[in-house]
Amino acid sequence: MDATEIKPFLFKILSTHARHHPGFIFSPLNFPGNHGLLLLLLVVFLLAGCKTVPVMDRNLAEAGGLWELNEHTGARFHLSTVPDDATIGLIQSSGKNVLLNGSSVNEIEQVKNHSFVSSGPRSGARIRLKASGSSCLIRVNDFKIGNAFTETSDCEQRIETLHAIIHAKNAILHLNVSQHETEVTVISGTISVTSRGNPTDSIDINEDHEVTVTLDTVSPLRSITSDEIWQRIRWRDDFRIYKTVIDWNKVIAGAVTVAIIAVVIIFGKGRSGVGQGSGFPRHR
């Protein structure tokens, strides 16, 4: 299990167990041999060992690639080789206004096939996509407005905006979509761009170049400097993406503490039994 999924997983265990055993949270000593107390202590120490840290290398993508959405941006994600209900990635939110299929996203959640991700004011999202086999095709559509940064990694991506159809693999690019045009900036690799309204107007774009696409035309290539690229993607600095990791030193210290408590309980029971057998008889 990914370390970023540990805390939600533990909370899920606790909530599920509490539904079936309502007295668990409030009466852990109901379990024979104080097992409930030890289990509760262990879970507490595990949760205490989880800490939230910012994602430093946000460009590090899995084989399926990654997407980052600016505020007021949305897109739908499909992986062509898996069932509709399959998990195709994980979403991490920044801010309180990120929605996954209309529901608010907490720290991290699974993204199912055909999911729609949208971001509201002062919020952004990062989607880490999974690959499926040696050859995979990720389709991204319903991308109607906003800024997006994507690293396609090993999977081919077919991205549809209001104006353009983009094919990319092993590339890094930035997209800015408005009502009238789509601006495509290639940071690394080579991609293909076609106008949706005029399929004969297509162009290959190498890194450090960009084009503007309308419904009918694709502009000539423009070279772009590093400073200009940074200006395109500087919105990413407005959003901090966090992940939950495990502080194993705290977890080990907690496990040792639980072990010591268990020994004390067992030893105490042993002494209690001896005392009951060898004490003076009580008066009736």
119-177 tens-digit pLDDT: 999 999 999 998 776 678 999 999 999 999 999 988 899 999 999 999 999 999 999 99
The predicted-structure confidence for 252-263, as pLDDT tens digits, reads as follows: 666 666 667 666
- CA–CA gap between residue 69 and residue 27 (Å, rounded): 45
Phi/psi at 76 (nearest 5 deg)? Answer: -110, 140
Tell me what the mean pLDDT of segment 230-247 comes to. 80
Weakest mean pLDDT among 2-11, 39-48, 196-205, 233-242: 2-11
Q: Which residue has the higher pLDDT, 239 or 212?
A: 212
Burial 87-117 (b: 16+ CB within 10 A, else e): ebbbbbbbbebbbbeeeebeebbebbbebeb
Tell me what the mean pLDDT of segment 185-210 comes to. 96
Residue with tokens 């299929």: 101
pLDDT of residue 204: 97
pLDDT band of residue 9 (cuts 50, 70, 90) is very low
Tell me what the mean pLDDT of segment 103-130 comes to. 93
pLDDT band of residue 213 (cuts 50, 70, 90) is very high
Say if CB 94 and CB 123 are below 8 A apart: yes
DSSP annotation of 173 reads E
List Cα–Cα distances, 36 to 62, 151, 252, in angstroms: 39, 47, 20
Report, in angstroms and rounded to the nearest whole number, the Rg of the chain calculated over CA atoms.
27
pLDDT band of residue 246 (cuts 50, 70, 90) is low
Phi/psi at 4 (nearest 5 deg)? Answer: -70, -10
The domain spans of the chain are 65-241
pLDDT of residue 80: 81
Q: Quick check: 53 pLDDT over 60?
A: no
Of the candidates 36, 35, 34, 16, the one whose C-alpha atom is nearest the C-alpha of residue 26 is: 36
